[in-house]
Structure 1
Amino acid sequence: MYGHNEYRILLANAKVPVIVSNDTGRDGCPYEDFLSKGRVFSQERGWAGLDLEPDEDASAALCYTSGTTGRPKGVLTTLRGSYLAAIANAYETEMRADSVYLWILPMFHACGWTYPWAITASFATQITLRTVDPAQIWYHLLRSGVTHYCAAPTVQISLLNAKEAQPVPRKVTTIIAGSAPTAQLIGDLETKGILPVHVYGLTEVCEPDLNTGKFKLTCYTRKTYGPFTKAYVQPSWDTLSLEDRARKLARQGFGFLTSDPVRVVYQPKEGEEDLDTELVDVPKDGKTIGEIVTRGNITMKEYFQDPEATKKAFHGGYFHSGDLAVVHPDGYVAVQDRSKDIIISGGENASSLAIEQELATHPDILEVSVIARPHLKWGERAMAFVILRNQATARWAGRHNNFEVELKTHAKSRLPGFACPEWVQVVDELPKTSTGKIQKVALRKLVAKL
């Protein structure tokens, strides 16, 4: 939960009723009472009992950032944006009236990426879960006719390694966001009959409590309405090897049907920031790094009661994501890293995401996360935190130093020297948000103590 100071900031100007609740789904729970009052207010007539808002640009939802890098900021989205994002999600995932969506992505996360409305607009069926339980998920995948679900790569990995995992009886489309899927993950999903669709939005955050090792639950939000790009599959990819196809699928691709085209622009040099400077696109060479910027239908309206922060976020007329990317000659955008996650080693920029992609090709690795660690000679070098596959855990027990040597050798065959990990640590688990994304801020704090 937020701390007392953060709650004070949230409540100071909101002027809306607030409910803080752990919903049980039972009568008497504050949230259930809130819903009941809504039903009474509409005179049990549902949408027909409510007044229609004539302004499509009216504010629809107010979600708050976590405040881990400053005071929490309220992100306002509109009715028009919510509608268009929902229509795009339904279209891009081919959701229809006979579809069955399984809720793994939390609905509190940026209004569930507008999927509550996308599913409803498609006349599809929804199945809800109270917790991310692989056994329950596989029960529904195998017996409830599920056709769609959203999950981060780390959640996908936990599903594939559950004892209940087996090929599904029908095609299932899984929407992957949070980080790029590896070739191994894509291949494992396909062997189970699950079709991965890689989409991209903006990064969610969660604040770790290093005293307890647990995460404080916050109201995660995105500055868009959820995903707004997709790695559209080309017919020519069918003849590629799994690894080559996965590399292409791991890119962020192009903007959704209802979004403006995504741009990657040069970043201003430190000290030369000018809010009125014209944005310039990087060349489509797959090498020049810039920042992803976006605008249009499915970008947030503004920061709530914070015009200065809004002006800064939208300088040049585009929302600045903070994600660094390149544009390939075929026009596909590929995220290299968050600006804070780039590893600067000996004057060279190394992408932690690119390093993770290559390390993940080692057959004994289940999950891997890479961060920068200070280095006396090179400034920074990569440090890899690795979870081993179940069958590899016993083989490397008591010999993690030997595994480190083997992984470094593997890395040298696939990465330039400045990008190879200097340190490798085998761990039992990685810190993650409630949406399943690896939380690198917690790893950085651990490294700072080494």
Structure 2
Amino acid sequence: MGWMKDETGLERCEANFVPLTPLSFLKRAAQVYPDREALVYHGTRRSYAEYHERVSRLASALVKLGVKPGDVVATLLPNLPAHAEAHFGVPACGGVLNTINTRLDADTIAYILDHGEAKVILCDPQFLPTLMQATELMERTPPKIIEVADDEAGVHAHGHYTEYEDLLATGDAEFAWIMPQDEWESLALNYTSGTTGKPKGVVCHHRGTYLMTMGTVVSWQLPRYARYLTIVPLFHCNNWNHVWLMPMLGATVVGCRDITAKAIYDAIADEGVTHFGAAPIVLNTIVNAKPEDRREFDHVVDVFTAGAPPPAATLAAIEPLGFQVTQVYGLTETYGHVTECLWQERWNDLQDDERYAIKARTGIAMPMMEDITAMDPETMQQIPMDGKTQGEIMIRGNPVMKGYLKNPEATQEAFRGGYFHSGDIAIQHPDGYLQIADRAKDIIISGGENISSVEVEGVMMRHPSVLLCAVVAKPDPKWGEVPCAFVELKDGATETEEALIAFAREKLAGFKTPKAVVFQDLPKTSTGKIQKFELRQIARSV
């Protein structure tokens, strides 16, 4: 019985209910747009018919390698056509896609491969040495390595592993995709540093991804046949789900391996790029491009930016260059962006400084979300929308993760009170627009990448001269934030800033390494807890 008094015979069936999945977009695009350009990367140009065929071959080949529904297939790839193909090919064989950050160190990659139990990994030649180190550190059986050769990698193919094109040759172009029987089935496994040194496995489902793509089209006002540049790494929230949505529009995905001002300007001028997503650091790169790297273009490029809130000065500088920028906000746990700073007509006549200050706000919920607001995390009550009171950003909606893999305690805590607790602190204006006041206390966001201060502190504390260490975010004009380490040395010990940074660099990925070290007694509470809020104040002037 439903809402009507008599619903006899009104049952769910195959004709009126199909599990939501982004796989549907590419299946449709191969029929509707078979000859349109789907993927572009330097000399490579593939139509939607070719895109679909290669995805089918990949799915078939993975099944022949023993990948079963629910198995994890990992990637260690830049933004190449093969990485876009994996976003469809892995789930088309029933697998779960685990895109791994190419900037991570071997220890962390080994942990991810062990924890996620990857059966196969697609790897670019540039990252094979790190992957080989990682497999030696693994406790489980290492995944089968497939090498994805690329002339732009800067190194030759290793030759010891099956090459991607050879793998596709073993697949069946007519392979029947294994579509989800339940839209709650897992689609992707993404690792985030969270608030501890150990990365957490964020599990995303088909339903959330499908709705995320639909909401993005509405919010971004994406047109049919858009030309989209892949600046956001495909390992970062699966490119904010953008690669999954582009077939819906018959759009063209333009690959970009190295994110430079020249590469961006060339893609806009030569390939007619109309849209891209990027962290604020990329906006700064465009603004500060050398004259010889700039190109003329005759259309407006629409940009979603997320990460640390973009400075108003950056927004003011980039828009006259031909870029229309909208700030969005989200987390790995929310599949990417879930709020937008939706522009209101009442702001049109404001002075530039006021307009760009508003554009730097975190914004309001995108249409696929149920509710996003700021609450007192203890009482779960809405904070006053006065533009002053601080609360934690709370999120509810279908594009929220299933939970953390093999970590029910962390999952339960994250969903306490019926909302996802973002850990980000914000004020809320009278019109409901959120504005981040402070990031989660221990997380540093550098160039759009999360860095766990606990992880960096753990490495620094291993130095024989270090007694105590606390790491906080230091504002940086290029990266937004960088790690700054405050260190107390052991009695009688002497050490230099350069030596400690070099020590950390040996054990951490480059972007996680502290960019400054301050030697001082650390401020502590009566119970011995380090008062990081004091250190953040100091770091602003270091």
Shorter-chain TM-score bucket reads 0.5 to 0.7
Which whole-Å CA distance do the structure 2 matches of 1:135 and 1:106 have between them? 18
1:201-350 mapped onto 2 (5 Å cutoff): 201-202=330-331, 222-268=332-378, 279-340=380-441
Give the drift of 1:73.
Answer: 1.3
Which whole-Å CA distance do the structure 1 matches of 2:162 and 2:351 have between them? 51
Amino acid at match of 1:446: V
Which whole-Å CA distance do the structure 2 matches of 1:104 and 1:29 have between them? 29
Give the drift of 1:330.
Answer: 1.0
Give the drift of 1:14.
Answer: 3.0
1:15 lines up with 2:94 in the alignment: no
Which whole-Å CA distance do the structure 1 matches of 2:512 and 2:111 have between them? 26
Give the drift of 1:259.
Answer: 0.9
Which whole-Å CA distance do the structure 2 matches of 1:76 and 1:102 have between them? 26
Which whole-Å CA distance do the structure 2 matches of 1:92 and 1:70 have between them? 34
Preserved CA contact (<8 Å) 2:340 2:366: yes
Return closer, same or farther for 1:3/1:197 CA change in 2, 3 Å cut-off.
Answer: closer
Amino acid at match of 1:318: Y
Which whole-Å CA distance do the structure 2 matches of 1:316 and 1:24 have between them? 48
Preserved CA contact (<8 Å) 1:59 1:78: yes
Which whole-Å CA distance do the structure 2 matches of 1:21 and 1:174 have between them? 29
Preserved CA contact (<8 Å) 1:95 1:124: no
Amino acid at match of 1:76: V
Which whole-Å CA distance do the structure 2 matches of 1:71 and 1:323 have between them? 19
Query: Where does residue 25 of structure 1 map in the other structure?
Result: 150
Q: Secondary structure at the match of 1:261?
A: strand
Which whole-Å CA distance do the structure 2 matches of 1:35 and 1:78 have between them? 29
Preserved CA contact (<8 Å) 1:167 1:191: no
1:126 lines up with 2:256 in the alignment: no
Q: Secondary structure at the match of 1:229?
A: strand
* Percentage of matched positions with identical amino acids: 33
- Residue 75 of structure 1 is aligned with which of 180, 189, 202? 202
CA RMSD of aligned residues (A): 3.0
1:200 lines up with 2:329 in the alignment: yes
Return closer, same or farther for 1:283/1:69 CA change in 2, 3 Å cut-off.
Answer: same
Query: Where does residue 185 of structure 2 map in the other structure?
Result: 58
Amino acid at match of 1:25: D
1:191 lines up with 2:294 in the alignment: no
Which whole-Å CA distance do the structure 2 matches of 1:99 and 1:84 have between them? 19
* Structure 1: gaps of 5 or more residues: 203-221, 269-277, 343-380, 388-437
TM-score normalised according to structure 1 size = 0.67
Query: Where does residue 136 of structure 2 map in the other structure?
Result: none
Q: Secondary structure at the match of 2:150?
A: coil
Which whole-Å CA distance do the structure 2 matches of 1:238 and 1:62 have between them? 41
Which whole-Å CA distance do the structure 2 matches of 1:31 and 1:248 have between them? 52
Query: Where does residue 144 of structure 1 map in the other structure?
Result: 271
Which whole-Å CA distance do the structure 2 matches of 1:241 and 1:440 have between them? 39
Which whole-Å CA distance do the structure 2 matches of 1:60 and 1:30 have between them? 30
Give the drift of 1:96.
Answer: 2.0
Query: Where does residue 177 of structure 1 map in the other structure?
Result: 306
The size of the alignment, in residue pairs, is: 330
Give the drift of 1:143.
Answer: 2.7
Return closer, same or farther for 1:386/1:87 CA change in 2, 3 Å cut-off.
Answer: closer
Return closer, same or farther for 1:107/1:8 CA change in 2, 3 Å cut-off.
Answer: closer
Preserved CA contact (<8 Å) 1:25 1:32: no
Return closer, same or farther for 1:63/1:385 CA change in 2, 3 Å cut-off.
Answer: closer
Which whole-Å CA distance do the structure 1 matches of 2:176 and 2:109 have between them? 33
Give the drift of 1:440.
Answer: 8.9
Which whole-Å CA distance do the structure 2 matches of 1:18 and 1:179 have between them? 34
1:301-450 mapped onto 2 (5 Å cutoff): 301-340=402-441, 442-443=514-515, 446-447=517-518
Amino acid at match of 2:405: F
Which whole-Å CA distance do the structure 2 matches of 1:30 and 1:118 have between them? 35
Amino acid at match of 2:415: F
Return closer, same or farther for 1:69/1:442 CA change in 2, 3 Å cut-off.
Answer: farther
Query: Where does residue 537 of structure 2 map in the other structure?
Result: none
Return closer, same or farther for 1:448/1:118 CA change in 2, 3 Å cut-off.
Answer: farther
Return closer, same or farther for 1:246/1:31 CA change in 2, 3 Å cut-off.
Answer: farther
Give the drift of 1:384.
Answer: 5.7
1:277-301 alpha-carbon deviations (Å, 9 max, x no partner): x511101101000000112211111
